[in-house]
Structure formats: structure tokens, C-alpha cells
């Protein structure tokens, strides 16, 4: 776990006068399971928007596999192996579930997947997340849980090295969380580094090897999960105590 896959240094992002992220530094090792927590508005989504390229950071650099990707457009980052799921599912609503996966397979993973194997690959990913039976359904008609699984599946179809899961489990019931969490474990075992953003503490704590806590745009604490929950700064950020 020594190789650094992603290195974020001095990252700052402002929206007008509002400082969303200030001087954030973060190293993610290859194969790591990292939890990213923090109260609402602390900058978690902004941080991963900067990493995935949806937003450009004002200061700082982002290095992925030894390559500076700070100014690359999102599609180039996706091709290099940075994939993300969205907090609010954004399926390609006019397509079937299977077609949804064809897009990343044919674009982001184009160099890594043979053309004639695209459909097989898509089915393999759908099987992994448990959506195989829904392959030919319209994605717009899926239930919430299935929509979240599709988010994950589509990110996976990009054949990522790094998967950023933005609240993949928000709004899911306990048993549904138990469906999604093993999928993420399985992915990690297959060699994918995972950054998990989650509000469901029990899920983050179970999943992460290391947890980073953001508050008001700064990293206030990082460490092993049991260490984090005892940290007074984290308790203050969450409970205001």
C-alpha cells in the first residue's frame, strides 16, 4: 500500500467570495479504501468534483498515477481511470440499462475493451452489481436502489483505477446498504481504489481503512475509523458541541 495513486496538494476552490475548499492535501494509496466524511456543505462533493474534473480548482495540483491532471477535462480523466458516481443518480434516461453501460465502455474504457466484447463486458458489470435481470429495461423506470446500482455500474464500466462513490447509499434502507456495501468490497478486492463519501456512518466505518473528515473546506482530521469517531474536532463539527 505504498504506491500513491492520487495526490492532491494545496487544493483551493472558491465560488465568488465563498471558500469551498482551502489548502486541501490528500494522498490516496493504490488499493486503498478511503472514507470521506463531513457535515453538509463541508466541501466533500466540491472536492470530488475537482478530482473528477467537473469543476476546475483555483489553486493546487492533482496528480493521478504520477501524471498532472489538474487542467484535464473530465472525459480525459475518465479515460485515464478516474470514475465517479453521482449523489443524485443521473442515468441516461432515454436508454436501457445495458445501453447506459455501453457509453462508458465505448468511450472511457475504449482503449481497454475490445469493440466486440462491449456487450459481454456490460453484462458482466451488471451481474456484479445485481442488475442483470434489468439489462433491457428503460433506465428511467428503475427503483431508487436499482438506480444507485446503475450509477455504480456505469462508473465501473469505465474500467477505473479509482472509483469515487458519492453517497451511493444515501436514502437506502439498512438491508439495501447491505446489498451495496459488499459490491464495493468486491471491487476493492479486484484492485480498484475507492473513495467513499457517505453520511451513513456505520457504512463508512465498516468500509474504510482510513477516514478523512472535512469541515468548512478544510481537512480537520484523518486516521483510522475508530480514531476518527473519538476525535473531539470531528465531534464538534458534527454535533456543534
Partner 1 sequence: MKPAVFWSSLVAALIAGLVFTEVGQNDYYFNAAYVVLQALIMAVAWNILGGFTGYVNFGSAGFFAVGAYTTIALNKAFGLPLPLLIAAAALVCGLIGLGVGYLTLRLKGVYFAIATLAMAIVIETLVNNWAYVGGAKGSYMLTPETHLWFDSYIKMLFMVMLALALASVAVSRALSSSRLGRGLAAIRDDEVAAECSGVPTLRLKLVSTTVMGAMMGVAGAPYPFFVTFVDPVSAFNLFIAVNSIAMPMIGGTAHWSGPVLGALLVGTAQELITVTISSELNVLLVGIMLVLFITLAPQGIVGLARKYLGRRLR
By the rule CB under 8 A, 92 interacts with partner 1: yes
Site for partner 1 in 128-167 (CB under 8 A): 154, 157-158
Q: Report the distance separating Cα 31 and Cα 2, nearest Å.
A: 9
Q: Does 83 bind partner 1 (CB under 8 A)?
A: yes
DSSP alpha helix (H) spans, the chain: 44-52, 74-80, 97-106, 118-129, 144-157, 174-189, 201-207, 225-230, 232-239
Q: Per-residue string for binding with partner 1, 31-70, x by CB under 8 A?
A: ---------------------xxx----------------
The interface region with partner 1, picked from 20-28, 78-86, 124-132, 197-205 by CB under 8 A, is 78-86
Helices and strands (DSSP H and E) totals, the chain: 9, 10
CB-wise, 107 or 185, nearer to partner 1? 107
Q: How far apart are CA 69 and CA 154, in angstroms?
A: 22
Q: Which is nearer to partner 1, 76 or 186 (CB)?
A: 76
Q: Which listed residue (22, 27, 59, 99) binds partner 1 by CB under 8 A?
A: 99
Report how far residue 208's alpha carbon sits from residue 224's, in angstroms, rounded to the nearest whole number.
Answer: 8
Minimum CB separation of residue 166 from partner 1 in Å reads 11
Instruction: Give the full edge-to-edge strand order of the sheet including 4-15.
Output: 18-29, 4-15, 59-64, 67-68
For residues 174 and 202, give the distance between their C-alpha atoms in angstroms, rounded to a whole number: 10
Is 78 an interacting residue with respect to partner 1 (CB under 8 A)?
yes
Contact residues toward partner 1 (CB under 8 A) are 52-54, 73-75, 78-79, 83-84, 86, 90-95, 99, 102-104, 106-110, 154, 157-158
Amino acid at each position: 500500500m505504498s504506491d500513491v495513486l492520487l495526490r492532491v496538494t494545496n487544493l483551493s476552490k472558491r465560488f465568488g467570495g465563498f471558500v469551498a475548499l482551502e489548502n486541501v492535501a490528500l494522498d490516496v494509496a493504490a488499493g486503498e479504501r478511503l472514507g470521506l466524511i463531513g457535515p453538509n456543505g463541508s466541501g466533500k462533493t466540491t472536492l470530488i468534483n475537482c478530482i473528477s474534473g467537473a469543476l476546475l480548482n483555483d489553486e493546487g495540483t492533482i496528480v493521478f498515477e504520477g501524471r498532472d491532471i489538474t487542467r484535464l477535462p473530465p472525459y480525459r480523466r475518465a479515460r485515464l481511470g478516474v470514475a465517479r458516481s453521482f449523489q443524485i443518480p443521473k442515468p441516461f434516461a432515454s436508454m436501457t440499462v445495458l445501453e447506459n453501460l455501453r457509453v462508458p465502455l465505448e468511450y472511457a474504457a475504449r482503449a481497454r475493451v475490445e469493440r466486440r466484447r462491449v456487450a459481454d463486458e456490460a453484462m458482466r458489470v451488471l451481474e456484479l452489481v445485481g442488475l442483470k435481470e434489468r439489462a433491457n429495461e428503460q433506465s428511467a423506470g428503475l427503483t431508487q436502489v436499482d438506480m444507485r446500482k446503475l450509477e455504480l455500474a456505469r462508473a465501473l464500466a469505465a474500467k477505473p483505477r479509482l472509483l469515487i462513490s458519492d453517497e451511493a447509499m444515501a436514502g437506502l434502507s439498512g438491508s439495501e446498504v447491505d446489498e451495496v456495501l459488499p459490491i464495493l468490497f468486491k471491487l476493492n478486492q479486484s484492485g480498484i481504489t475507492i473513495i467513499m463519501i457517505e453520511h451513513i456512518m456505520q457504512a463508512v466505518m465498516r468500509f474504510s481503512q482510513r477516514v478523512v473528515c472535512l469541515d468548512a473546506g478544510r481537512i480537520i482530521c484523518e486516521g483510522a475509523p475508530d480514531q476518527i469517531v473519538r476525535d473531539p474536532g470531528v465531534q464538534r463539527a458534527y454535533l456543534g458541541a
